[in-house]
Copies of this chain bind each other. A is one copy, B any other.
Amino acid sequence: MKVWKGNILSAAGPDRLEIFEGGYLVFDAEGVIQFVGPELPSRYAALPLEDWGDRLILQSFADMHLHAPQYPMVGIGMDLPLLDWLERYTFPNEARFAEPDFARQTCRQLAAELVRCGTTRVCMFSSRHTDATLILMEELERAGVTGYVGKVNMDRQGGPCLQEGTEESKRETLRWLEECRRFRRVRPILTPRFTPSCTDELMGFLGKLAVERGLYVQSHLSENRAEMALVGRLCPDCAQYWETYCKHGLWRSHTVMAHCVHSDKRERDAMRKYGVLAVHCPDSNLNICSGIAPVKQMLREGVWVALGSDIAGGAMPSMLDVMTSAIRSSKARNIAEGDEVLTVREAYYLATSAGHRYFGDKPGFAVGNPLHAVVLDDRRLPIPARPLTMEERLERAIYRCDDRDIVAVSAAGRRVK
């Protein structure tokens, strides 16, 4: 067991910060939190203590939507809307995951950047390539990133480079699941790319697999108007996009739906009712002009929302950037439509506790949670004109710090930086 001492700030609720200035965190050999509080109980007094001084101990970040094979194109080609962007930039880029060496190099770089930025949990898309997906999972495990990774299924509209046959997609999915047994910290998640990419037959197969094996599912939902119109044409039997997943048994508790930019009240109600996680990807949604998701409204309605970088629709792998992006997007929405803005507390909650909940955690640094934490040193920032409160230091860190300032990272109690 071990003790960390420092200024501990965790998101105990969507609008509730729990702060222990000069507080203590105790975690056991399995990395599970045993205690958090302002004073160290005497029973822990003999444990080895790491004193982080005046630094901030924050929850590490959960990036609940990103595409590993798009990492090489991060920051380019954002002059097109979704469907054209996929065809012109994304699909040719993803096709290179057919080459194991290229996949290895990309995954290693990405995993290292995630750890540097304090992202210790992910829900990630690979490409359709089974071998590259296994390489991705290996590299994440090696670097210390935990979470879910999906081999993408796409037997429709994938173009010459990327599309699979339906039978091939089924067969490769089963092979991949078999191979996944060797991983401990990274687990498989079923990943139909999105409705336009999958035939009914493939969707039905995946829905059955999800139920039979108790697997989670991730996909995309209502990101862009043209995409929604396309789904409407492809699935005339469904009144709304979400029903194209639901009719195949893929709309379940813990199904992850990225974007939900244009989800209306009925679609949002279906999310809440089924326990679907909506992943807000504010940077991506602006970059490719998809729109601005009504996050604040989702929070008010009790929809489960977390954040995603959506690399490479998003250009910023650091969840510090994604949080400010979420706040700024909510302000753009405020300017255009008068909706309430997202607070710093809420953004911190969305990037941490809301995502960690996917893995069974209670909010904040709760006893029983595995320790997912970063230590942040904010001394590189300008000297303030008056002493700052801990909450102000959190705000400033979110707006101004980067991976340089993250001096330690714990992923489930394992020190990975």
Contact = CB atoms under 8 A, between A and B. Distances in A.
Interface of A: 71-79, 92-93, 96, 102, 105-106, 109-110, 283, 286-287, 289, 291-292, 315, 324, 328-329, 331-332, 334-337, 341, 343-344, 381-386, 388, 392, 395-400, 402, 404
- State the oligomeric state as a number of copies: 2
A336 B336 contact: yes
Contacts of A388: 76
B334 A289 contact: yes
Contacts of A331: 286-287, 289
17 contacts: A72-B382, A74-B396, A75-B381, A75-B396, A75-B399, A76-B388, A78-B399, A79-B344, A96-B385, A102-B385, A109-B383, A110-B382, A286-B332, A286-B335, A287-B328, A291-B335, A335-B336
The interface centre, meaning the residue of A76, A334, A400 with most chain B CB atoms within 10 A of its CB, is: A76
A388 B397 CA distance: 33
Contacts of A76: 384, 388, 392, 395-396, 399
Contacts of A106: 382-383
A337 to B, nearest CB: 8
Contacts of A109: 382-383
Contacts of A384: 72-73, 76
B102 A399 contact: no
A329 B385 CA distance: 30
Contacts of A74: 381-382, 396, 399-400
Nearest to A99: B385
A283 B328 CA distance: 8
B402 A402 contact: yes
Nearest to A397: B75
Nearest to A402: B402
Contacts of A343: 79
A390 B177 CA distance: 41
- 4 closest residue pairs by CB, A with B: A75-B399, A336-B336, A332-B332, A75-B396
A89 B344 CA distance: 17
A79 B324 CA distance: 13
A292 B382 contact: no
A308 to B, nearest CB: 17
B289 A341 contact: yes
Given A289-B341, A343-B79, A324 B315 contact: yes
A98 to B, nearest CB: 11
Contacts of A400: 74-75, 315
A222 to B, nearest CB: 15
Given A287-B331, A341-B289, A72 B383 contact: yes
A324 B79 CA distance: 13
Nearest to A321: B321
Given A74-B381, A75-B397, A106-B383, 10 more contacts: A72-B382, A72-B384, A74-B396, A75-B400, A77-B392, A79-B344, A332-B336, A335-B336, A336-B337, A404-B404
